[in-house]
Amino acid sequence: MAAPHHGIAREDGGAALLCVVDTLHGTPVADPYRWLEDPDSPATRRWLAEREHDFAAAAARWPLREALAERIRRLVAADLWTPPLRRGRRVFATRRPAGGDHPAVVAFDDSDGGERERVVFDPHSFDPSGATTLDSWEPSPDGGRVAVQTSTGGTERGALRVLSVETGLPVEEPIKGVRYSNVAWIGPDAFYYVRRDDGDGRRGVWLHRVSPTGPEPDVLVRACTGPRTVPGVRLLGGRWLVVTESHGTGHRNDIWLADLAAPSGDSADPARSARPQWRTVHAGEEIESHPDLGPDGVLYLRTTLGAARRRVCAVDPRTPGTAHWREVVGEDPEATLDGFAAAGTAEHPELLLARTRLGISEVTAHDAGDGRLLRRIDLPGEGMATRLESDGAGGAHLCYADVATQQCVLALEPGTTRPRAWPAGGGPRPHASVVRRTLHCRSADGTLVPVTLFCAEDSGGEGSAADPGEPGPTILHAYGGFGRPRQFGFSATVLAWLLSGGRYAVAHVRGGGDFGRRWHLRGAGRNKPRSVDDLVAAGDALVAEGVCTRDQLCLSGGSAGGLLVLAAAARRPDLCGAVIASAPLADMARFERMGLGAMWTREFGTAADPQDFAALMAYSPYHRVLADGAPGRPAVLLTGFHGDTRTDAAHPRKMCAALLHGGAGERPALLRYERDVGHGPRAVTKAIELAADAHAFAAAETGLAPPGTPGGASPARQGEST
């Protein structure tokens, strides 16, 4: 594919740096900032120090920086819970206290009426620096122990520890080298877990036996079938072991099932648990399914088999192959099935379904036998319902949030339509009144693409989502990757922007999952340029509708969305006044060699294929800027995280260098770079600082200045349009 590269020497602080040129499919591809892929070289450190100085000097001039940070702090100043899990005589959940940086695992005992909260694991107590995050956790069936996984410095690679609930202390040495490992307990002293990214052939599902007296060797139960698959493990009904293997991020998985019941059916057999007999649910097909076991002993599956927007099928777990499936609830042609839970009783089993219709969730209850609609669940508003899970007693729990309401946990009693808050007194509390409306734009190939627009009614700014009045500062967000639909949950950052008088729009571009799998595939692989077309059309539509002027428009996206907004701005430098790209992909010729990029070839294609390579280079922001320069480009803020093991921080480093190489012009190209954090969760304090900086940049570049607040863009900039 690639001829040996050669270098063109240039000087940088006394060091000779090479402009690498690769020849890919007969095409020379210059990469003058390959040296920035080494994060710890002296040249990279010097370059980063310069960027940090530039960022600090620019940020000091942003008038809304402190006001936005304070507003965001107030908006997140509430306890944040996850749904409860009952194990034995205890109930477990996580709680992030108001003003706290991290959630802690807590437990309540039935013996004291559930009044006394016991903190089992607190990341802040474990690591007062705040650099350690709680990545996953799972209590044992008897409630005596909890397996917690942590990682440090944002790497998302860490250790799995087994803690005593009574003491909060570890009962054995930690298991190293895990990443967001599922844990499936099969008793108080043993569990299955997964290894995902070791390079020593240990990727797969393992059986671990807890041994306080000394380590016992773990047993490999099922190895991964390929180097780019992600294993998963669950235990359903205390009997059925489910192993899944996802193929990259292509919305395809394989599923196997094993019966762990002893011949008597009384309990799991320790000898057999290490050598389960596998039954194939489906493998080697373009299907993605998620199973759950009903109280009637039937296996229910949310699946894309024969349904791009997903449906629910049922099967006897003893003969789980697709030839035996029967449809229970069919596909909705206008809404995507995102979550489901098997609830009710053995005599009256029910299915609870959570669908998303253009960003808004709806929850319904269906008869598990014939799929007929039993009732619609009354959600608190137009928002997002997630983590729909059976409570094991006929009902369910779910999380609810909307643009103005921080996430809360709701308990749904059997047969009811109106859920109650859990814990008591922790129900939804909207911070403001937000108006939503939907626009449609026509993309380059004629496809209609929805754009959702939000405004706060009481922000003090002019106009509303329904009637924008005069053009005003607007952030246009897009993601457009991996088939993920945009759902409208709570973001303190977005709400702070709205309450400061700004407008916020979301483009439902192809590549996302807003209209199911087909919508995703139309913007994936060689079709990825369509996602860019859709975003460009959305920006043009907002200007044409009078929502904002060009200079009042800021594109915003993170990760795959960061790639999208950079690609749109590289194609159409006149599209907007500013761009925020957080932890983006940027170098699409080498994305497979950095971070988790090798897992994403089903989403983006591979540079090893000449047709894929041509599509990648058509929108690769790094190469577009290097080739075209950056005349008249918008202001750009990139964020990079040193510990990022997903989208390697080399992407924003190289992108920033390319933008500066193209000429700074009148508008800045800034890199906000952080160490000891990564792509995933972080301390709330750090998250607030990042959000405030990003949106203070947007405010300064688009002219957002609420009544009585000094600053904003110059009058000339504010008045410009197309």
Helix and strand totals (H; E) in the chain? 14, 40
Cα distance between residue 707 and residue 653, in whole Å: 37
- Contact between 560 and 481 under an 8 Å Cβ cutoff? The reply is yes
DSSP reduced 3-state for 288:
coil
C-beta atoms surrounding 277 within 10 Å:
9
Written in H, E and C, the secondary structure of 469-490 is CCCCCEEEECCCCCCCCCCCCC
Question: What element of type H or E holds 319?
Answer: none
From the number of C-beta atoms within 10 Å of its C-beta (0-12, 13-18, 19+), residue 308 rates as: middle
Confidence check: pLDDT of 689 > 90: yes
**What pLDDT, on a 0 to 100 scale, did the predictor assign at position 290?**
97
The number of beta carbons lying within 10 Å of the beta carbon of residue 284 is 10
Q: Give tens-digit pLDDT for 597-611.
A: 998 999 999 999 999
Q: How many CB atoms lie within 10 A of CB 176?
A: 11
Exposed (0-12), middle (13-18) or buried (19+): which is 326, by Cβ within 10 Å? Answer: exposed
Q: What is the pLDDT of residues 581-638, one digit of tens each?
A: 999 999 999 999 999 999 899 999 999 999 999 999 999 999 999 998 767 899 999 9
Q: What pLDDT sits at residue 133?
A: 94
Question: Pick from 404, 460, 409, 407: which is nearest to 435 by CA?
Answer: 404
385 contacts 397 by C-beta, under 8 angstroms: no
Share of the chain above pLDDT 90, in %: 78
CA 596 centroid distance within chain: 14
Percent of the chain whose predicted confidence (pLDDT) is above 70: 90
pLDDT at 250 over 80: no
> Could you identify the residue written with the tokens 């402190």?
66
143-195 pLDDT tens trace: 999 999 999 988 888 899 999 999 999 999 999 889 888 999 999 999 999 98
Distances (CA, A) of 197 to 160, 225, 288, 594, 669: 14, 13, 22, 14, 34
**Placement of tokens 């890199």 in the chain:** 671
Q: Domain boundaries in the chain?
A: 2-72+432-715, 287-428
Helix 560-571 with 528-544: angle, nearest 10 deg:
70
Q: Taking a C-beta distance cutoff of 8 angstroms, is the pair 335, 309 a contact?
A: yes
* Least confident range of 331-335, 463-467, 545-549, 670-674: 463-467
Which two three-digit tokens encode residue 721? 């349009």
Instruction: List Cβ neighbours of 299 (8 Å cut-off, separation of 6 or more).
Output: 236, 240, 257, 291, 292, 293, 314, 315, 316, 317, 320
pLDDT of residue 261: 87
Average pLDDT, the chain: 90
Statement: residue 349 has pLDDT above 50: yes
**CATH architecture observed for domain 287-428:** 7 Propeller (2.130)
pLDDT at position 531 over 90? yes
Whether the full predicted model's pTM is greater than 0.85, yes or no, is yes
User: According to the model, what pLDDT value does residue 197 have?
Assistant: 62
pLDDT band at residue 665 using 50, 70 and 90 as cut-offs: low
**Mean pLDDT throughout 634-649?**
94
Q: If pLDDT is split at 50, 70 and 90, which confidence band does 201 have?
A: low
What pLDDT, on the 0 to 100 scale, is given for residue 373?
A: 98
Q: Which of 620, 582, 638, 585 lies closest to 249, judged by CA?
A: 585
Longest CA span, the chain: 81
Q: Which of 60, 52, 69 is closest to 640 using CA atoms?
A: 52
User: Using CA atoms in the order 496, 501, 502, 508, what is the torsion angle rounded to 10 degrees?
Assistant: 80
DSSP letters spanning 161-225? EEEETTT--BSSPPEEEESS--EEEEETTEEEEEE-S-SSS--EEEEEE--TTS----EEEEE-S
User: Which pLDDT does position 215 carry in this prediction?
Assistant: 73
φ/ψ of 696, rounded to 5, equals: -70, -40
Give the pairing type, strands 27-31 and 80-81. Answer: unpaired
Residue 427 vs residue 15, higher pLDDT: 427
pLDDT at 1: 41
pLDDT on residue 5:
44
CATH for 2-72+432-715, options being 3.30.43.10, 2.102.10.10, 3.10.180.10, 3.40.50.1820: 3.40.50.1820
Query: What is the Cα 460 distance to its own chain's centre?
Result: 32
> In which residue are the tokens 């405004």 written?
455
